[in-house]
Amino acid sequence: MSFALHGLSVSNGVAIGHALTISAASLDVTHQFIASGSEEQEVVRLQQAFELAMQELHDLKDRLPEDAPEEMSAFLDVHRLILEDIDLRQKPEALILKRRYNAAWALTTVLDELLLAFEEIDDPYLKERGADFRQVIERVLYALNGSSELSLAPLYQKLDRQSADAIIVAQDIAPHDMMRFKELNFCAFVTDFGGKNSHTAIVARSLDIPAAVGVKHASEIIQQDDLLIVDGDKGIVIVDPSPMILEAYRQRQAEIKFSKEQLQLLKYTPTKTIDGQQITLMANIETPEDAPDALDSGALGVGLYRSEFLFMNRKGGLPEEEEQYRAYVKTIEAMYGLPVNIRTIDIGADKNLDNADHKLSSNISPLGLRGIRWSLSEPEIFLTQLRAILRASAHGKAQILIPMLAQAHEIELTLELIGEAKRQLEQRQQAYNTDIKIGAMIEIPAAALIMPLFLKYFDFVSIGTNDLIQYTLGIDRADNAVAHLYDPLHPAILKLIYDIIQAAKKENIPVSVCGEMAGDSQLTRLLLAMGLTDFSMHSSQLLTVKREILKAYIADLTQQLPPILSTYEPELLNALVTKLNQ
């Protein structure tokens, strides 16, 4: 039966393919046939994992605090009983012995069967018990892995084997996992959670494939291999579409393909408005490997290199100076002399280090020790990064961009540490560009309100609209529950952006927008009207924005701006912006 699920659009286009559902357990499990003759050994490994899991449950029960609720102890007993279940032990053992599945694969196969059986139970209480089995088996899986964290390798194997029509359906995907998906073969993804401007969504957009997030319960409702249409423009997922709907979407796909080909023709056209205003379009990248695409899209540099992705989800500690230096040089060289704004590590909020060796590994709140605050609290790590960037600046036009600044003393400390990094290089007699430009992200409302301070100390500023909106409106950008309140057209946001641009222009300090607003072609004319001449966005969005610029007439847009900035009623404001776009 055909039905549609609704979520948020994060990346445009239409994909038609088959669901590759990723459940929490099967996500993390390697599927491989073990060598013939090693079956017994694998069974022993599985048995040991069961024993370890059992031991853990005993320990947990022993350590239960006196005031722990009574149900807690009963709950642990239920899990112990499940672990003792003879079927649960014998079934995976049989799969190991007969089919030579590795232990983890055998276990999740049994789990999948069990969960399916629980799904069919009508009694809601019994149905819920499926979750207990899942938790118990996950505990054994962890024990098998010998760690508290499982690897994502198996998902990659699955996707490698899949044809390009796989559509990933998951509860949620962390930004660093999304990053690693870049190498894989799939045509769209759908998640239960996530906001339009979360880092996961941003990385997804850079993959240039249709995606919908915040599609509630998608991962429970959609079954493995279901035929799906992902309408990325509307954030809709159609499950098991009728032939007529399928045909309509195939046509839409063909139209999109054609219009993308047309866009390519603009690649070498200078980016100028009708009345001759030169506009600079730069690219946002996450890794050095993104740089060739940036160049290929016609970007005149990298406006934002999110260097934190080099630091995330690493097994063996943070990258040393040499590794960072090599990554930065690789990027700079790939851009052939064009500017590259290397933003210093912006860890926190939905970007976790997830590094077991590091004390500040994860769960830094968006209002916590994020971005420059983290760097200033870890001066050695910060100095290492600064030295690496400075050394890379000897190879091309590297510029330093600092995230999340809000306070005068943060500016002072940051500049002091940049000075210190330079001195260290001089002592080592290592080259760097002594005239390197330093820029600040304006992404906290406080910074936007004290622009003269920033304009005094920095060579350029870049508006991070993603966070500026998050912090001005008090909305977690990664939370789909408040996604409807995340509004780039909120009058307060428009006022802040306009004021930042005007303040910078008055002082002749270059100003750009590198948040997602810059890549939204529906907002291009509005930003041009506000006087913006420098945009930075993912390469995949660049030509669409360029098309808008080529059709724009600044003098006309500027005239339409005053009523937009003085209108506080959303409907009226939207109508004025629609008119601006006509």
CB of 60 to Mg ion, least distance (A): 40
Local structure of 201: helix, strand or coil? helix
For residue 470, which phi and psi values (nearest 5 degrees)?
-55, -50
Amino acid 381 reads: I
Stretch that binds Mg ion, among 26-34, 40-48, 458-466, 520-528 (CB under 5 A): 458-466
Binding mask of the shown chain, residues 334 to 373, with x at each position contacting ligand PEP by CB under 6 A: ------------x---------------------------
* Pairing outcome for strands 534-538 and 211-213: unpaired
Question: Among residues 31, 79, 490, 514, which one is catalytic?
Answer: 514
Residue 464 engages Mg ion in binding (rule: CB under 5 A): yes
**Using an 8 Å Cβ cutoff, are 212 and 237 in contact?**
yes
Range 248-307, binding ligand PEP (CB under 6 A): 304, 306
Nearer to ligand PEP, 49 or 345 (CB): 345
CB of 465 to ligand PEP, least distance (A): 5
Q: What's the gap between Cα 180 and its chain centre?
A: 11
CB of 477 to Mg ion, least distance (A): 9
* Pairing outcome for strands 166-170 and 280-285: unpaired
Residue 516 engages Mg ion in binding (rule: CB under 5 A): no
Chosen from ligand PEP, Mg ion, none, partner binding at 465 (C-beta under 5 to 8 Å by type): ligand PEP
Return the residue of 378, 467, 479, 520 that touches Mg ion, per CB under 5 A: 467
CB of 198 to ligand PEP, least distance (A): 9
CB of 81 to ligand PEP, least distance (A): 47
Chosen from ligand PEP, Mg ion, none, partner binding at 306 (C-beta under 5 to 8 Å by type): ligand PEP
Q: What's the gap between Cα 313 and its chain centre?
A: 13
Q: Residue 76: which of 142, 139, 141 has the closest Cα?
A: 139
For residue 503, which phi and psi values (nearest 5 degrees)?
-60, -45
Return the residue of 378, 443, 476, 548 that touches ligand PEP, per CB under 6 A: 443
Stretch that binds ligand PEP, among 60-68, 124-132, 266-274, 462-470 (CB under 6 A): 462-470
Chosen from Mg ion, ligand PEP, none, partner binding at 469 (C-beta under 5 to 8 Å by type): none
Q: Within 10 A of 411 (CB to CB), how many other CB atoms are there? A: 20
Is residue 187 part of the annotated active site? The answer reads no
Is residue 484 part of the annotated active site? The answer reads no
Chosen from Mg ion, ligand PEP, none, partner binding at 304 (C-beta under 5 to 8 Å by type): ligand PEP
Joined tokens for residue 233: 């423009």
Return the residue of 464, 498, 501, 543 that touches ligand PEP, per CB under 6 A: 464
**Using an 8 Å Cβ cutoff, are 518 and 547 in contact?**
no
Q: Residue 387: which of 418, 341, 427 has the closest Cα?
A: 418
Range 185-204, binding ligand PEP (CB under 6 A): 202
Number of residues that bind ligand PEP (CB under 6 A): 11
Q: From residue 564, how far is each of 7, 492, 506, 570 by CA, in Å?
A: 29, 12, 22, 10
**CB-based burial label for 129 (10 Å; 0-12, 13-18, 19+):** middle
Chosen from Mg ion, ligand PEP, none, partner binding at 170 (C-beta under 5 to 8 Å by type): none
Q: Residue 570: which of 484, 502, 493, 490 has the closest Cα?
A: 490
* Pairing outcome for strands 280-285 and 534-538: parallel
Helix residue spans in 335-407 (DSSP H): 372-377, 379-392
Nearer to ligand PEP, 172 or 467 (CB): 467
Nearer to ligand PEP, 514 or 527 (CB): 514
Stretch that binds ligand PEP, among 14-22, 174-182, 381-389, 461-469 (CB under 6 A): 461-469
Residue 466 engages ligand PEP in binding (rule: CB under 6 A): yes
Chosen from ligand PEP, Mg ion, none, partner binding at 210 (C-beta under 5 to 8 Å by type): none
Question: Among residues 199, 395, 490, 538, which one is catalytic?
Answer: 199
Q: What's the gap between Cα 37 and its chain centre?
A: 43
For residue 215, which phi and psi values (nearest 5 degrees)?
-90, 90
Angstrom distance (rounded) from CA 138 to CA 262: 50
Residue 514 engages ligand PEP in binding (rule: CB under 6 A): yes
**Using an 8 Å Cβ cutoff, are 344 and 373 in contact?**
no
Q: What's the gap between Cα 14 and its chain centre?
A: 20
Residues interacting with Mg ion, by CB under 5 A? 443, 464, 467
- Catalytic positions, please? 199, 514
Binding footprint of ligand PEP on the chain (CB under 6 A):
202, 304, 306, 346, 443, 464-467, 514-515
